[in-house]
Structure 1
Amino acid sequence: MMAMARPVQRAQVENLYVEAMLLADEAHAAFAAQRDLGRANGDALAQIGLACESLKTTTRLMHVIAWLLHRRAMFVGDPGAGPNDSAARIGEPVAADWAVCAGFDLSVRRIVSASERLFERIAAIEAGWEAPPPQPPVQALLAQLEARL
């Protein structure tokens, strides 16, 4: 089972890396376009909100990309990339302020939402990979019996 897990994990990381890079590129373009529209409208508060949410989204995506790059390094045996490094943990999410995001174009809101979902997926993958393997049913029953006796 463990021998099969490593290639599957590598494939997951590679696919998620491509997805994260494409989303980061989309985010850059969408926030830049929205920023230009905000300047034309002259709404300073909206521009500040956009800048803050752009930073949060970029930070969220960069955390995901850093985590994926660290996992890649671990897979190839890079001695500088270990399971106990700070980069090996995705950490806490940077939540979007959806009250602010409500004023953005649909394309920008979609990207913010997609970045939050991607972060959540990475956190779930990390939790699943770090969880101890489940005991076989017989072993679990024996452990329960032993605990009762």
Structure 2
Amino acid sequence: MRQFKGGARILLTALSYGEPWIMTADNITEPKLDPAFVEKLYEEAMALVRETATYLGVIGSAGHATIAEEVRSAFTGESLRLTTQLLQVVSWLLAQRAVSGGEITMVEALSPQRRLSGRDICLGDPLIDTARLPVELAILLHRSRHLYERVERLEGQLLAGQPPLNPLDTLLSRLKR
């Protein structure tokens, strides 16, 4: 954990996940993600939401004045990017949880209105060199972007009807060569 001004903390650990893809006789025509995998990813996203809310709450209430004036507008823009990334990811994961719970089908979950959006904003170039931003914000931005990219890859694989690649399978195939 990293401590920052105001006493809040940022968790700098990554959760490990099992195989995200399950294929059964019931879902051969409609693949779906393993509910336990979706739940772990959702928990990671919500932990990041809480850390972001804590950090921005501390900065908003006391620390914004400590940010250099020439960095403030970029700080605000990058904070909005951060919250947009998290909103998109959590919304997508809620749809996947609804699939796991039998509330909607995967086809419904992957409909255009439920897909990740805001890609240009979420994955756009930083407004300022991130080295000029407070380190805590830079870390949150990095983690949130990485989470968005992971979910985007999962969505792409689901839309293509292909199971996500298991990194272990890739490594094993390289070792066999």
What TM-score comes out, normalization by structure 1 length?
A: 0.73
In structure 2, how many angstroms separate the alpha carbons of the residues matched to 1:104 and 1:70?
Answer: 33
Which of 67, 70, 85 is matched with 2:111 structurally?
85
Matched, 1:21 2:46: yes
Matches within 5 A, 1:1-149: 2-3=23-24, 9-35=34-60, 36-40=62-66, 43-79=68-104, 82-91=108-117, 92=119, 94=122, 95=124, 97=126, 99-133=128-162
After superposition, what is the alpha-carbon deviation per residue over 1:81-103, rounded to whole angstroms, capped at 9, x for unaligned?
81453343113251351625322
| Number of equivalences | 133
| Counterpart in the other structure of 2:14 | none
Q: Which amino acid aligns with 2:146?
A: R
Percent of matched pairs sharing the same residue: 25
CA gap of 1:63–1:14, structure 2 versus 1, over 3 A, is: same
- Structure 1 spans left out of the alignment, 5+ residues: 135-149
Native 8 Å contact 1:70 1:88 kept in 2? yes
The structure where helix makes up a greater share of residues is 1
Instruction: Point out the structure with max Rg over C-alpha.
Output: 1
Native 8 Å contact 1:38 1:46 kept in 2? no
What TM-score comes out, normalization by structure 2 length?
A: 0.62
**RMSD of Structure 2 on Structure 1 (CA):** 2.9
Runs of 4+ in 1 over 6 A off after TM superposition: 4-7
After superposition, what is the alpha-carbon deviation per residue over 1:101-137, rounded to whole angstroms, capped at 9, x for unaligned?
3222222211100000000000111122222349xxx
